[in-house]
Structure 1
Amino acid sequence: MRQPVSHLAGSSFTHLVLAGYTLLSLFPLFLVLINAFKSRAGIFDAPLALPNGETFSTIGFEKVLGKAHFLGFFGNSLTVTVLSLVLILLFGAMAAWALSEYRFRGQRLILLFFAFGIMVPIRLGTVAILELMVKLELVNTLSALVLVYTAQGLPLAILILSEFIQQIPKELKEAARCDGVGEFTIFFQIILPLIRPAIATVAVFTMVPVWNDLWFPLILAPGEATQTITLGVQQFIGQYATDWNAVLASLSLAVLPVLVIYVFFSRQLIRGITAGAVK
């Protein structure tokens, strides 16, 4: 049966809008990548043109990888991001399981508390967080960043994961309990595999803000040994002159982990988003 003309027109318009939004979102990334492989003159003379024989240059990457402590900054960002993700996903899944599976006094208040954590930006508590880190002697350490990012990501992770856990049939869990399976075994061997799309969704949504954050690294870990990649890029930006070759090369290398994560988890991410849309 042929589809109505109005349906085809609506579908075509939707795809056109989505394609336009995709191009608009990818254009800044495309601009950074093509200019990262240009000379300084090529960047300013024709910023929208592709590199050619006259403008092609890798001087920015040579400066970043050779003269700067870029690999150290990259390692710091990777360490902070991975540890934060592990803690967020582990504690978030466990808290979501407890809030979804068990009934106890104050349960609704705890859920409201986590929802409040999503609505209120954590940056509003920067002064209090800095004072706490000073008292704990964690300033200029990666541990301070891991703790802050874990607290920042837990509310969203708990609410998303609890919504998915509630959709798991109770008969599956009750059957496991009847067979004598413990609660930890049910959680790690039954629940976690069933909510992998939700875990991938939380991981992607959590990783991007952590990897790209400049605020807390600047305040809590500005030392050279603890700088993250976003803070390390600032060394190429001066008050009177900016090394645009190095800046664009740094940004190009910094975006690679995000792209890799998306490539590997894109299917799980789409499944998680679409599943959450119909719950």
Structure 2
Amino acid sequence: MIHRKKSQAGKNTLPLHAIAWIVGAFILIPVVYAFLGGFKENSELSANPFGLPEAWVTANYTEVLGSGSFWLQMWNSTFIAVITTVLTVGFAALAGFIFARYAFRGREVLFTLFTAGLMFPFAVAILPIFVLLRTFGLLGNPLGVILTQAAFGLPLTIIILRGFFRSIPGEIEEAAIIDGCSPFGFFWRILLPMARPAIATVSVLAIVGSWNNFMLPLVVFSEEANWTLPLGIQQFQGQYASDTARILAYLVLAMVPALGFYAIAERHLVGGITAGATKG
């Protein structure tokens, strides 16, 4: 009977597994195509786009790695992504702590205002953002990108962290207060360490979102010294429009840091989202 139930359960999950493999293939095939294409000559890329390279040409990758502009754009993207993440997670953690652990008049209304930010796509607000940044003199300044990305990242981050903070038993906070811990001490010494899965989740979302952001840096930056990698890819594509293999190599190298960070933090990602979604 147990064997029959296991067999039936396995059959029921087959469609889900098939869908997962299909979706995974749609995501993975373009990445593999770009990676292999970076090792080919352009003539071979046209004749054999999906096969293995006949002769592995490493010059496409080494020339990109030897370019000073690539490393400058890498630094700009890294700096903006790290500062954006620190601001987003830091302010969202404080706000999520207040919304989760304190009851005050208008709390739910204020929380609803924060979550309403999810309903406004970034592209819709690009013109007001441009005018606002110009008014404050932040055009051409990395702060113009950092502060805007942090503001748009706060709603989802607060939702996830608030849900996780609310799942922490009140007895733990009461015990900490009895031992002489202040409210901020409880938040800093106890709550944040317990919230590592959720912190990892929102950090991944913030870093990857900042790393892939193209429109905002395009609007804010006009000088090449401030360009991030997405802008560098566009410029590189225009400069080497006929050299598709080198463009693919540049694209792959630009993806490596974000993919690497995601791979390291991936084990926390699902757990953190689930905690914020189900325990709020």
Bin for the TM-score computed over the shorter chain: over 0.9
Alignment partner of 1:250 is 2:250: yes
How far apart in 1 are the matches of 2:217 and 2:101? Answer: 37
Q: 1:224: how far off?
A: 0.6
Judging changes above 3 Å, is the alpha-carbon distance between structure 1 residues 278 and 133 closer, same or farther for their aligned structure 2 residues? closer
Q: What is the TM-score when the length of structure 2 is the normalising length?
A: 0.93
Q: Provide, for residues 174-224 of structure 1, a one-character-per-residue CA deviation record: whole Å limited to 9, x for no partner.
A: 111111101121111111111111111112222222111110011011311
Q: 1:277: how far off?
A: 5.4
Judging changes above 3 Å, is the alpha-carbon distance between structure 1 residues 3 and 254 closer, same or farther for their aligned structure 2 residues? farther
Q: Provide, for residues 119-166 of structure 1, a one-character-per-residue CA deviation record: whole Å limited to 9, x for no partner.
A: 111222211211121122211111111111100111100011001111
How far apart in 1 are the matches of 2:125 and 2:114? Answer: 16
Match of 2:174? 174
Q: Provide, for residues 226-256 of structure 1, a one-character-per-residue CA deviation record: whole Å limited to 9, x for no partner.
A: 0000001112223993432332111111111
Alignment of 1:56-205 (within 5 A): 56-67=56-67, 69-205=69-205
Match of 2:3? 2
1:236/1:243 contact within 8 Å kept: no
Match of 1:46? 48
Q: Extract unaligned runs of 5+ from structure 1.
A: none
Match of 1:26? 28
Alignment partner of 1:265 is 2:265: yes
2:89/2:203 contact within 8 Å kept: yes
Q: Provide, for residues 26-48 of structure 1, a one-character-per-residue CA deviation record: whole Å limited to 9, x for no partner.
A: 11111111111111112111110
1:236/1:242 contact within 8 Å kept: no
How far apart in 1 are the matches of 2:39 and 2:93? Answer: 43
How far apart in 1 are the matches of 2:111 and 2:277? Answer: 20
Q: 1:273: how far off?
A: 3.4
1:59/1:245 contact within 8 Å kept: no
User: How much is the aligned-residue C-alpha RMSD, in angstroms?
Assistant: 1.8
Match of 1:16? 18
SS of alignment partner, residue 225 of structure 1: helix
Question: What fraction of aligned residue pairs are identical, expressed as a percent?
Answer: 35
Q: Which has the higher helix share?
A: 2
How far apart in 2 are the matches of 1:94 and 1:83? Answer: 17
1:145/1:220 contact within 8 Å kept: yes
Q: What is the TM-score when the length of structure 1 is the normalising length?
A: 0.93
SS of alignment partner, residue 138 of structure 1: coil
Q: Extract unaligned runs of 5+ from structure 2.
A: none
